[in-house]
Each structure stands twice: as C-alpha cells, then as structure tokens.
Amino acid sequence: MRAATRRESVAGPAGRIECAVDEPGGAARGTALIAHPHPLFGGTLDNKVVQTLARAFVELGYAAWRPNFRGVGLSEGAYDQGRGEVADLAAVLAHLGAERPVLAGFSFGAAMQAKLAAQVEPERLVLVGIAVNHFAAPAVPAGTLLIHGEKDDTVPLAAVREWAQAQELPVVVVPGADHFFHHKLPELRAAVTGNWT
C-alpha cells in the first residue's frame, strides 16, 4: 500500500518547480523522474499517461517524481522552447541526488528526457509517444524502452519506427492505442512493468 501523492517544490533555474511525488510502501529501489507533454498544449504533471507511468514505477518499487515544467501549475517561469525544460528536469535530479535515475516521459516530455539522457547516465530511459516529428531527439542509450500507440495520429508510428531503427531499438506497440492511450492505460502500464528486469 502506498501513501497518497504529495506535492513538493524544488528550486529551479527559473524559480520554483512544482512536483508530485508518489512512493512505494517500503524502501524505494531507485528514483523515476517523469516528464509531461507539451506545456503550451495542456500538458501537466496530472496528465493521465504521466500518472499511469508514475503508478507503474511505484509498482516496480521506485519513488516517482512528476515535475510541472516552467509556467505550468505552480512552477515559475515561462515556456523556453525545450532548453529550459531540460534544465528544469536536471534541477530536480540535482535536488534528489539521484545518481542513476530512471528517466521517463510522454510526447514532448519524452523528447526532453532523451536530451537529458545525453547529460546524465540513467538506469533506464522510458519514452512513450516520443514526439520525434516535432522535436529533434538525440540518439538514446541501448536498452531504452520505447512505447507507442498503434493508431497514434499525432506522432505517426512509422516516424518513431524509423527513428528507432537507425539505433537498432525495438518499439513496443500498444494495439489500438491513440497518442493519449484513451481506454488503453492499463495496457500502457503493463507495457512498462512487463518489460522491466
């Protein structure tokens, strides 16, 4: 049994960063940092996909931290084209002192985590619906878990497969799922927990 989600503030480059924190019942095996979708299109730490990822990581024994990017919710600052957003994620990691965190993200957040993974050494990278057709995403570490909806019309599956193929990375496809995994959140959660070692 886990405690209710709590809110914490972390000092970031543009001011306060609001975070939601979920923890497992016992001692955590590590920390998972989860990034939300695009701030200018309604993305927040309360996004259902982001919440589903947090639940999956808590189930796996991780403390799950979900920050709001600058300008969202109680986080200070304003949207910064992805530059400041990566800096915000790095600031939360620095606050946590997590040496090898799990980095996870959805859509815009997945692209930001791919950029952060080039700066830190994550235990693992989990990218859901990564927006490779909207943001330049660097090559990611071997072992990265890529999850995508079969019927995603925001980020076409073909675009993600092409990006992944160049890196010899498999893509876990959730059948019938759109970009936001409507009615497919249990399958998304299972895609994370079922592909963990």
What pLDDT is stored for residue 103 in this prediction?
98
Q: Which amino acid does the sequence have at 116?
A: L
- Residue bearing tokens 């589903």: 52
- Report how far residue 197's alpha carbon sits from residue 189's, in angstroms, rounded to the nearest whole number: 15
- Cβ contact 115:141 at 8 Å: no
What pLDDT is stored for residue 166 in this prediction?
95
Domain limits, the chain? 6-193
- Cβ contact 150:174 at 8 Å: yes
Give the DSSP H or E segment for 172: strand 171-174
What pLDDT is stored for residue 3 in this prediction?
61
What pLDDT is stored for residue 1 in this prediction?
39
How many other β-carbons are positioned within 10 Å of the β-carbon of residue 30?
A: 16
- Report how far residue 146's alpha carbon sits from residue 104's, in angstroms, rounded to the nearest whole number: 10
What pLDDT is stored for residue 86 in this prediction?
97
Which residues of the chain are modeled with pLDDT < 50?
Answer: 1
What pLDDT is stored for residue 189 in this prediction?
98
What's the topology of domain 6-193? Rossmann fold (3.40.50)
* 70: nearest Cα among 113, 114, 38: 38
Q: Which amino acid does the sequence have at 184?
A: K
Give backbone dihedrals phi and psi of 73, rounded to 5 degrees, phi first: 60, -130
Which DSSP category does 4 fall into? P
* 91: nearest Cα among 105, 78, 106, 75: 75
